[in-house]
Amino acid sequence: MEEKREDSLQEVAAAGKGERRGGFLGEALFLARRHVVFLSLVAFIAVMPFWAKPLSKPLGIPLVMVMRLVGIYTIVAVGLNILMGYAGQISLGHGAFFGIGAYTSAILTVKAHFPPWLGIIMAVLVAIAFGFLVAPVLRLKGHYLAMATLGVGIVLFVFLREMTWLTGGNDGIRNIPPLSLPGMRIGEARDYLRAEYYFIWVIALIVLLLCSNLVRSRLGRAMRALHQSEVAAEVMGVNVSWEKIKVFVLSTALAGLAGGIFAHVQGYIDPNLFTIVLSIQLVTMVVVGGMESIWGAVAGAGLITFIPKIVEALPKWLGEVPRWVEKYSNYEGMVFGLILVLTMIFMPAGITRGLSDMVRYRRSPFVNPFRKKAME
Amino acid sequence: MNVARTAGGTEGGAPGFAPGEHLLAAESLTKTFGGLAAVKNVSFMVRKEAIKAIIGPNGAGKTTLYDLLTGIYEPDEGSVIFEEKSLLGLPPHRICAMGVARTFQTVRIFSQMTVQENVMVGLHKSTSSGMVGCSLRLPRARREEAWIAEEATRYLDLVGLEMQADSPAGSLPYGQQRLLEMARALATRPKLLLLDEPASGLNAYETRELGELIYRIRDMGITVLLVEHDMGLVMRISEEVLVLDYGEVIAEGTPEEVRNDPRVIEAYLGSELE
């Protein structure tokens, strides 16, 4: 490799990174190798509905229906993971941007009779606009940023609830038209659940692919650099404040996209769906799934969406729940919390990191929290 | 103050400043932190393609001076002219784009990224693919990415870290982290490189290597400003020395002149300058 320095610069670079360039085929091969995870996910998503149907009944969980939600949350969680995991900027207000997307599309389709696909595009644009509007809070750091984004979320929630003439207030908006594309019925198709499922996951997978490209690009490096040292990144020529705004707006755009789809899948929205609870759930997806990992967003969205369903279904599996458990009316919440606490103790870097470490280094995916850590 | 500055000065603060000869001219820079003047009325110039050292006891304001030059702090008073353009009020990334790069006294590498990625960040400003290009991997973005990787390898070769390209930067020993910082700074293609104690933590052999490296950097046409405590290195490689004490310039001149300056000897209590 050393003697061939004079070869074309692409080859040198490619050799260094184990990449190959040139031509469509080369790119396709390169993508295939780099995206093993992605391709297996595509395969899984593609066949899931076929074996899900016979499985749903005995499990007591409508798998395809829940997976639709997982897809929607994946779209938000990817954006939030780039913002939090890569760029290191926390947001406790993304539930509100999700809500803005949902309301934009709902209002435009119900009141102005936009077609749903156009409503969803408008949802993205409005979320982008709000993202820019809120972006000045990114001057704050750490806890202060967390507090400020929390405040933003609350303010936007209050607007959704109080602007009754536009949003219908606490009554929400009903009869939101189901998903459709020009010349294609999705939400009114015969097997509408499956159609929606595929529609959502095609979008989610495209988002995942684009985001995984993004984080490996110069912009991804700039984000990770400013995460680790803002001063050093800035002095190295990275326009830190602008890069932060870009990544924040990207994440609000994805939240808007997901929210727009959500409105049409649900058919009914009200402000209480988009409170701080949702924001915290989204952050939990990112953290449990694994920070600084695109696939962590999928894992986190899947886990956080499925756990409550599984907990709900537990009585069916076990036949009967003991009386003393039943007395705690909110035991689902307790199990949910317990699982989160255990994940954070034993897999502090998130489940995707734990699992990838297990595959790559052949070691336990769990961390011993009692082991003494070396001094940093 | 003026007396002090001219004490050893041949060049510094000389009235006959011909534009074009000097890359950087700082004029009466002052920065106060809560009543304490970290840098007080400091003026100096740096000739093109020179190696100039800034020395002084701990707390003399050397690093603060760097922070003023790179835009991390804005001076309370004074001006900084770089290539006949003022740097005052510009954010650090703009100053970097104009050709001023620096390293840090306490290493600030991106420790969670690989060695090569660190240098690639330095090349960020030389490329311009946006979000759309990067996420779709458009041809231009791919070409840029390949170019970035190749350039980064070149800079790693220069400082001798090519073998560690794929290790996490945080796993490097301290001395190599300093070299990595230099490679990263060089990747921004500076005209002026500000080194902040590059020899601290290095052994005698590594320090000599560092001297060679600084010469090589200068031969690339890059002007080097050097804050350093290792007097052996300073006296050997620098053409001019600026001495600070309590934020003020107490001497400026060739290494010989500075070495024999009574005020410098007093500031150092004769301990380090033999």
pLDDT for residue B271: 54
Q: Choosing among A139, A227, A235, which should be mutated to test the B contact, i.e. which has the most B CBs within 10 A?
A: A235
B131, A246: Cβ pair inside 8 Å? yes
Contacts of B81 (CB under 8 A, 6+ apart): B24, B25, B26, B27, B87
Q: Find chain A residues with C-beta within 8 A of B153's C-beta.
A: 12-13, 16
ipTM of this model?
0.87
> What is the mean predicted confidence (pLDDT) over B234-244?
94
Residue B133 token pair: 């290009």
C-alpha distances in Å from residue A211, one per residue of A20, A30, A52, A76, A80: 21, 17, 28, 12, 11
A237, B124: Cβ pair inside 8 Å? yes
B77-111 pLDDT tens trace = 999 999 999 999 999 999 999 999 999 999 999 99
What CATH superfamily classification does B2-99+190-267 receive?
Answer: P-loop containing nucleotide triphosphate hydrolases (3.40.50.300)
Q: Who among B97, B146, B147 is closest to A237 (CB)?
A: B97
Residue A316 token pair: 């069916």
C-alpha B254/C-alpha B160 separation (Å) is 31
Q: Choosing among B73, B93, B109, which should be mutated to test the A contact, i.e. which has the most A CBs within 10 A?
A: B93
B112, A17: Cβ pair inside 8 Å? no
B165-197 pLDDT tens trace = 999 999 999 999 999 999 999 999 999 999 999
pLDDT for residue A185: 82
- Residue B147: count other Cβ atoms within 10 Å of its Cβ: 16
Residue A315, domain member (yes or no): yes
pLDDT for residue A35: 75
Confirm or reject contact between A211 and chain B (CB < 8 A): yes
Confirm or reject contact between B185 and chain A (CB < 8 A): yes
Please report where in the chains the tokens 């031969």 appear, as a residue.
B219
Residue A2, domain member (yes or no): no
C-alpha B225/C-alpha B97 separation (Å) is 18
Q: Who among A13, A224, A250 is closest to B131 (CB)?
A: A250
Confirm or reject contact between A20 and chain B (CB < 8 A): no
B121, A222: Cβ pair inside 8 Å? yes
A235, B134: Cβ pair inside 8 Å? no
Confirm or reject contact between B108 and chain A (CB < 8 A): yes
C-alpha B65/C-alpha A77 separation (Å) is 43
A235, B96: Cβ pair inside 8 Å? yes
Q: Are strands B223-227 and B51-55 parallel, antiparallel or unpaired?
A: parallel
Q: Choosing among B96, B106, B110, B120, which should be mutated to test the A contact, i.e. which has the most A CBs within 10 A?
A: B110
Q: Who among A218, A221, A231 is closest to B144 (CB)?
A: A218
CA distance A335 to chain B (A): 34
Q: Of B39, B50, B45, which is closest to residue B24 (Cα–Cα)? A: B45
In degrees to the nearest 10, what's the CA dihedral of A220, A223, A227, A232?
A: 110
DSSP, collapsed to helix, strand or coil, labels residue B237 as helix
| Planar angle of CA B177, B181, B184, nearest 5 degrees | 135
- B231 close to B272: Cβ distance less than 8 angstroms: yes
C-alpha distances in Å from residue A90, one per residue of A27, A97, A301: 35, 14, 17
Residue B204 token pair: 């005698």
Q: In this model, does residue B13 exceed pLDDT 60?
A: no
Tens-level pLDDT at each residue, chain A (376 residues): 333 333 333 443 444 444 445 567 777 777 777 778 889 999 999 999 998 888 888 888 899 999 999 999 999 999 999 999 999 999 999 999 999 999 999 999 999 999 999 999 999 999 999 999 999 999 999 999 999 999 999 999 999 999 999 999 999 999 999 998 888 888 888 889 999 999 999 999 999 999 999 999 999 999 999 999 999 999 999 999 999 999 999 999 999 999 999 999 999 999 999 999 999 999 999 999 998 899 999 999 999 999 888 888 877 787 776 777 666 666 777 777 887 788 888 888 888 888 877 877 777 778 777 776 655 4
Q: In this model, does residue B7 exceed pLDDT 50?
A: no
C-alpha A129/C-alpha A135 separation (Å) is 10
Residue B190 Ramachandran class (φ > 0 left, ψ -120 to 50 alpha, else beta): beta
Contacts of A40 (CB under 8 A, 6+ apart): none
B113, A228: Cβ pair inside 8 Å? yes
Q: Find chain B residues with C-beta within 8 A of A214's C-beta.
A: 131, 134-135
Task: Tell me which amino acid residue A118 is.
Answer: L
- A304 close to A288: Cβ distance less than 8 angstroms: yes
Total number of domains constituting chain A: 1
Residue A140, domain member (yes or no): yes
Residue B185 token pair: 């700074």
Residue A25, domain member (yes or no): no
Domain assignments of chain B as residue spans, ordered by start: 2-99+190-267, 108-173
- A261 close to A203: Cβ distance less than 8 angstroms: yes
Q: Who among B112, B137, B184 is closest to A213 (CB)?
A: B137
Q: In this model, does residue B14 exceed pLDDT 90?
A: no
- A281 close to A76: Cβ distance less than 8 angstroms: no
Residue A242, domain member (yes or no): yes
pLDDT for residue A17: 46
A234, B92: Cβ pair inside 8 Å? yes
Strand partners, B196: B227
Residue A246, domain member (yes or no): yes
A218, B153: Cβ pair inside 8 Å? no
Confirm or reject contact between A218 and chain B (CB < 8 A): yes
Q: Is A231 exposed, middle or buried (0-12, 13-18, 19+ CB in 10 A)?
A: middle
Query: Domain of A348: which CATH number?
Result: 1.10.3470
CA distance B179 to chain A (A): 15
Task: pLDDT band for B272, please (50, 70, 90 cuts).
Answer: low
DSSP, collapsed to helix, strand or coil, labels residue A170 as helix
C-alpha A313/C-alpha A292 separation (Å) is 32
Chain B residue with Cα closest to A225: B110
Task: Tell me which amino acid residue A23 is.
Answer: G
Rg over alpha carbons for chain B, rounded to the nearest Å, is 19
Tell me the angle at which helices A294-318 and A63-81 cross, rounded to the nearest 10 degrees.
150
Q: Of B145, B108, B221, which is closest to residue A227 (Cα–Cα)? A: B108
First and final CA of chain B: distance in angstroms?
26
Task: pLDDT band for B35, please (50, 70, 90 cuts).
Answer: confident
> What is the mean predicted confidence (pLDDT) over B50-68?
93
Cβ-based contacts under 8 A for chains A and B? 125
Q: Of A191, A182, A194, A206, which is closest to residue A78 (Cα–Cα)? A: A206
Residue A23, domain member (yes or no): no
| DSSP H helices in A135-191 | 142-162, 164-167
Q: Find chain B residues with C-beta within 8 A of A14's C-beta.
A: 146
B104-161 pLDDT tens trace = 999 999 999 999 999 999 999 999 999 999 999 999 999 999 999 999 999 999 999 9
Strand partners, B252: B242
Name the average pLDDT for chain B: 89
Confirm or reject contact between A139 and chain B (CB < 8 A): no
Strand partners, B135: none
Q: Who among A228, A239, A250 is closest to B93 (CB)?
A: A239
Domain that holds residue A99: 53-361
Task: pLDDT band for B269, please (50, 70, 90 cuts).
Answer: low
Q: Is B45 exposed, middle or buried (0-12, 13-18, 19+ CB in 10 A)?
A: buried
Q: Quick one: what percent of chain B has pLDDT higher than 70?
A: 91
Confirm or reject contact between A8 and chain B (CB < 8 A): no
Interface of A with B in 223-252 (CB under 8 A): 224-225, 228-229, 231-240, 246, 250
Q: Who among B92, B131, B142 is closest to A235 (CB)?
A: B92
pLDDT for residue B15: 41
